[in-house]
Structures are given as structure tokens and as C-alpha cells.
Amino acid sequence: MTARQVSVALDGTITVRVGKVELGQGIVTALAQIAADELDADLAHVTMLPANTADGPDEGMTAGSMSVAESGAALRSACAEVRMLFLAEAARRLGEEPGRVVVRDGVFSSADGARRTSYGELADGVDLDRRAEGVALPKDAARLRIVGTDVPRLDLPDKIRGVPRFIHDLVLDGQLYGRVVRPPSPAASLIEVGTARIRECAGVVSVVVDGSFLGVVADDEAAADRAAAMLRDAAHWKEQDSLPNENDLPAFLRSVPSETFTVVDEFDDAATAAPVAKTLAASYSRPYLAHASMGPSCGVARWDGDSVQIWSHSQGIFPLKRAVAKALQLDPDRVSVQHVEGAGAYGHNGADDAAFDAVLLARSVTGRPVHVRWSRSDELTWSPFGSAMVVDLEAGLDAAGRVVSWSCDVWSQGHLARPGTADGAPGLLAAAHLARPIPLPVAVDPPASRGAGSTRGAVPQYDFPRRRITGHRSLRAPLRTSSLRGLGSFATVFAIESFMDELAAAAGRDPLEYRMSQLSDPRAREALETAARLGGWEDRTQDPEGVGRGIGFARYKGTGAYCAVVAEIEAVNEVRVRRLSLAVDVGRIVNPDGVRNQIEGGAVQAASWTLIERVRFDRRRVTSVDWESYPILRFSQVPEVDVTLVSRPDEPSVGAGEAAQGPTAAALGNALAAALGVRVRDMPMTTERIVSVLES
């Protein structure tokens, strides 16, 4: 129904409900622009409501760089219809033919401009509580006025002033504060815990022990923290070794039982077979990576006896609602979820888990909201990780060095374990620790139609004949994995684009020229040419010793944004990234500065992943527990980032959020090879790793 998306008040306020949520990526601003433009309304009159399951649209997950494409298209249609209905009413009241009514900044005028009315004045004459008919056509690109402009982010003024806005800041009537004491290691289980002393402490309201799930509820956060520390000291756990050897993850991934699946297989196609003059092979890897959000996961819940209300920064409030209902065997209609902004999210982090923690603790204090905030160490050790991966590539080259056959094997744990996705399991952390446990599912992969998971990005955009691309998804999950920005593409694109440089070197050709000679997609070519120009590719031959430039390219998921990167690295005493120059084509651009911000941030985060990040663990425990044991790039290490947007107003809009990850990694690896003459095929490219490659 239209009214579920858009409503207009008598004061002219236009309220828009979307199912996609703000993760710090600016999506709510972009969607407000789309709505205002389609309505020909003043952007200042548009209010974006936070998503909730009670009366908002179910738009699934805010993930996969799909929000502008999916939610934007639906919103555009809905707003076009609202505009048509208001225009018809305006025509009636103004005594003008509908085709002659002019709409601008929310004002409807007769053709001569003499008679005017507005959305607010017309609101009582238009019933939006009706089924969308889908007959109104959205605007042509040429008529867009707000889309395509640098509208400042709607949420930033509050954040810059320090006005409460995050779920961490939420204070509800009668609110209590909860903390969960997690097991010390993934395979640990509780032996015993004495709680009598803790229950008597000042401020403690309840202590919950259910299987290996331990938690406290207290009057305030300081009391909750003190009680949680006591509970941790009082708990005795049985631990066991369950983790792979962190220093040989490729061996683990190749040997673990896995599901093998074919992405592309053209090897039996005799017509494409050409003589192979030379064959090259190489393997590339990435470690487990942490989301490492600046704000620990947080959730709030109130148990009302026969229903539960949840506040969450989940990326999928409807799936969370269904998962909580399933885990607790409740009627889903008894569970409602309100979205509240959290700190930046880059995929499936602990948001859903924290919400479920709050539900479990809230059951012990019926009628009172319980606010749960994770510790830094729980955030780093218990949020799902992006999986370690290894990518094996083999290429057959003809006499001129062109690729005539291409084989790729991707080994990985799955990249999708969000609530309700993997075998329909709730996928909620605490459920796995209850006395009647619901185990965490082994992560699966999104289907190819949603961009795949382990093999995301594994199909090269080059004009290779005879390709065979195979995935091997682990059926074991010693470490919990799920979606992290870019999913498998961070490794597959790194592998493909590193290998392209190695193939170019074997053929004695320039890496850019080598790519262009096997790339016919004009948008891909323009992205590469633009990045090369921006990054001073032609000057690379004059780079002094110890300085190098490298290039990387991909079209995200094969269907999304085009992104090419030139990285300039200085590797003298240590590796320093001087500059990343990116060219990006996201089709029609809704908010240019918003796209730039996403690409800049993505490139910096990808540089951090590539150069220094790696989840550390021994055979029993995850040992990356704070910012010293899981460092990320600091101000003094962040490179210059230049972004050029290739404008394509007539192409559909696609998301920008994940496009930079893989190409940036590859450009850095290629720049390092240019600077030092060594090829580092395993991330992170730390000084220690580079030295070991130099010595081998």
C-alpha cells in the first residue's frame, strides 16, 4: 500500500518510510533525495522515519550494495504515484487540466501561475491508503533536480554536535542495563558458577544462568559492569582446542570437508580451445577479518509477558524479528523490532546477537527495558568474521601472452549466516549457549542471483575464452563467519588482479595495456583509463627505487559498480601508501559526495585489511581482543585518496559501498611488487610477511 511508504500531513510534512537502514553510509539521505525529487517536493519537508517492523515496509537486509538500486527504485515508483494522485487533486481544485499543472518545490500551480496549492493543502483530499497501481512513470534522468546533487547528510549535524542518536544513547522509561559474560573460547561450556554473592551486590537486579549463557541486569551500567566482572571471575569453564592453525589457513581450507560447486565451466567447449604456449599458476589468500566497528554491538528489549519489543541496529529488522520468534518459539506477531542507528556496520556484525541478549535478559525483568552493550573484547571475538580464503588460479597463455584458458578454485567458509538465512537457523549467538541450544549454523553463500558469496567477484570481467571457476565452501565452522563488506570479492578480485600483473610480466607487457587488450566492456575500459590518468600511470617508469605504482580493477559482483584503482606505495624502511586514485562508475549518481565518501572510506578500510589486519588465535581462543591485538590503520598511516566519478545518468543506479575493496587490495599488492620486485600473495602484507617472501 502506498501509505506504508509515503504520507502527507496537513502542515505539508511528507513522511517517508523505508525498509533500508542507516549504517553510516548515508543511505537515508540518498533515499530522501530520491523521494523529494520524484515528488517535486522541497527536501526540507521530507521526514525519513526509522525502519520498524510494525508499520514499515519489509525490504529484507540493508546489504550487498543493493539499497539504492532496490529501495530507491521502489521508492521512486511509490513517490511518482503519490505525485500523480496529488496532481489530479490539484488539477481539480485549481480548475486546470492535469497535464498543465506545474509542480515545483511542493507547490502545484496552474499553467499561468495565477492559482497555487501545495501538498499540505491537498493532503485532506487525497487518500494514500490504497494499493499502489504502478501506473505513474518515474521521471526521466533529464528532469531530476535533487538527485545528482551533493545534499549534506541529514544525520550528521546531530552526530557532530553530540546529540543523542545512537542506540547506545537510548534511555527508555524504567530502563535497566544488562551485560553478558561470554565463554572464554568458541568451544567452551560452563561447568559451574556461583551467583549468590553477585545477586546481593548493590544495583544488581537479576542474574541469568541458562546453560552456558550468563548475564546480569543492574540499575546502571557501572553496576552492570562490576557485576559482570564478578560473574566472570565466578564462572568455571570447560575449554577445548577447536581452532585451525592460524599460520596455515590455506591448508585448513583445502583439507576441511567442503561443498564443491561450479560457477562457470567452459572447459568441455572444444570450439574455444586454442593452443597454449605457456601455463602459469599461483595461489592467493586472505586471513579472517573482523568488522571492528568503533561502537560495540548494542540491543534493547522489553519483555511484556506475551510480547517482546526490541530496539536494534540490525541490518535486517524483519529477519531478526522472525529469528527471535523462532528461537523462543513465539508467534512472530508478538515480536516487534524498531531500528535505531548504531556505529558503522560493514556487514553481519553482533547487532542481532546483542538484541537477542537483551531479550534473554529482559525475560528476567518483565515490563522493564534492558539495554545491553557488548565489551570491546566481545565485539572483536564474538561478532562473525569475514572468512579466511584461498584462491588458486591457473592460466594458459598463447604465444602472444593472451589468456586462452582460465581456471579458478576458491576455498572459503561461507559468507552468509545472518538470522534466518543459513538452513533457516535463527543464527543468534546466545541461542547456541542456552541449556537447550540452537547451534549456530555453518555459513552458506548467497545465491548467484544475489552476487554469490565465496565466489563473489571470481568471474573475471576480461574477454577470456574457456573458463572454469569452482567454489569450495567449508562445511565446518571452527570460527564463526558471515557477511563482511565485499564478501568473497575481497580475495577473488585481489587474486585475479594480482595474477593479471603476473601474467603481464610473463608476457613482457605493461599491466594496464595487458588488461585493456583483453577487455571490451566500454565502461570497464573508461574506469581503468580514468584511474590510470588520475594515478599518473604514465609516470611510473620514472618512479625512484623503492616506490611503485600498481593497478587493480573489478566490476562489483559482475553487475554492480565499476571501480579501478591506482595505488602508489613507498617501501623503504616500511611500507607506506602514498596515494590511492580511484575511478568509479555507479551508473546514475544520487549523491556525488555520498558516493565519494563511500569510496574513500572503502579504499582506506581495504588498505587497512590488506596491509595490517588479521584475526589472531591460538588453537583454543581468539587472541585479537583489543585495538592492540587487532590494529587498524591510523591517521598517520592513511594515504591520500582521490576519487573521480564517471557520470552515467542514463544507466541504473548501483551501490557504491563495497566496490573499492577488492580493487584496492590488488592495486596495493601490484604497487608493492613494482616497488620491491617481490610478489606478496598472502594478506596482510606486513613487513614481517614481506621479509619472509624476500628471504624465500
Q: Which residues bind other proteins (CB under 8 A)?
A: 23-26, 152-153, 155-166, 168-169, 171, 220-222, 292-296, 341-346, 373, 375-376, 593, 597-598, 600-605, 608, 626-628, 632-636, 638, 640-641
Of the two residues 295 and 552, which places its CB atom closer to other proteins in the complex? Answer: 295
AA letter at 439: P
Three cell numbers written together for 450: 544475489
CA distance 34 to 590: 7
Residue 38 or 378: the one with the smaller Cβ distance to other proteins is 378
Task: Provide, rounded to whole angstroms, the least separation between the CB of residue 579 and other proteins.
Answer: 11
- Parallel, antiparallel, or unpaired: how do β-strands 308-312 and 107-109 relate? unpaired
The least CB distance from residue 689 to other proteins, in Å, is: 22
Nearer to other proteins, 258 or 591 (CB): 591
Nearer to other proteins, 505 or 632 (CB): 632
Nearer to other proteins among residue 115 and residue 368 (C-beta): 368
Shortest Cβ 178–other proteins spacing (Å)? 15
Q: Closest approach of Cβ 561 to other proteins, in Å?
A: 17
Cell 512513470 -> residue: 137
**Residue closer to other proteins, measured from CB, 90 or 300:** 300
Question: For residue 630, what is the DSSP state?
Answer: S
Grid coordinates representing 250?
Answer: 590455506
CB of 44 to other proteins, least distance (A): 17
SS3 category, 340:
coil
Task: Provide the minimum distance between the beta carbon of 142 and other proteins in the complex, in angstroms, as a whole number.
Answer: 27
Please state the closest distance from residue 284 (CB atom) to other proteins, in A. 23
Nearer to other proteins, 471 or 639 (CB): 639
Q: Which of 243, 267, 643 is nearest to 480 (CA)?
A: 243
Cβ distance to other proteins smaller for residue 55 or 626:
626
Smallest separation, CB 161 to other proteins (Å): 7
Among 433, 476, 481, 436, which residue's Cα sits nearest to residue 454? 481
Task: Report how far apart the first and last C-alpha atoms of the chain are (Å, whole number).
Answer: 65
CB of 604 to other proteins, least distance (A): 3
Choice between 48 and 444, CB closer to other proteins: 48
Q: ∠ at Cα 18 (13, 22), nearest 5°?
A: 105
Q: Dihedral sign, CA of 36, 39, 45, 46?
A: negative
- The SS3 of residue 486 is coil
Distances in whole angstroms, Cα of residue 515 to Cα of each of 24, 379, 490: 35, 41, 19
The nearer residue to other proteins, 289 or 425, going by C-beta atoms, is 289
DSSP 8-state assignment for residue 405: E
**Smallest distance from the beta carbon of 594 to other proteins, in angstroms?**
8
Who contacts 101 (Cβ-Cβ below 8 Å, separation ≥6)? 87, 90, 91, 94, 108, 109, 110, 111
Q: What is the Cα–Cα distance from 514 to 507, expressed in whole angstroms?
A: 9
The full 3-state SS of 34-94, as one line of letters, equals HHHHHHCCCHHHEEEECCECCCCCCCCCCCCCCHHHHHHHHHHHHHHHHHHHHHHHHHHHH
CB of 429 to other proteins, least distance (A): 20
Residues 6+ apart with CB under 8 A from 295: 166, 168, 342, 343, 344
Nearest to 658 by CA among 351, 419, 451: 451
Please report which helix (H) or strand (E) contains residue 605, including its range: helix 592-611
Give least dist CB 474 to other proteins, A.
27
**3 state SS of 329:** coil
User: Cβ contacts of residue 263 below 8 Å, gap of 6+?
Assistant: 448, 452, 455, 458, 459, 469, 470, 471
Question: Minimal distance in Å, beta carbon 168 to other proteins?
Answer: 6
Give the residue with the Cβ less far from other proteins, 246 or 341: 341
Q: H-type helices in 213-364, by residue range?
A: 221-234, 249-255, 317-327, 351-362
Sign (positive or negative) of CA dihedral 314, 316, 322, 327 = negative
Minimum distance, C-beta of residue 226 to other proteins, in the bound complex (Å)? 8
Query: Which phi and psi angles does 2 have, rounded to 5°?
Result: -60, -40
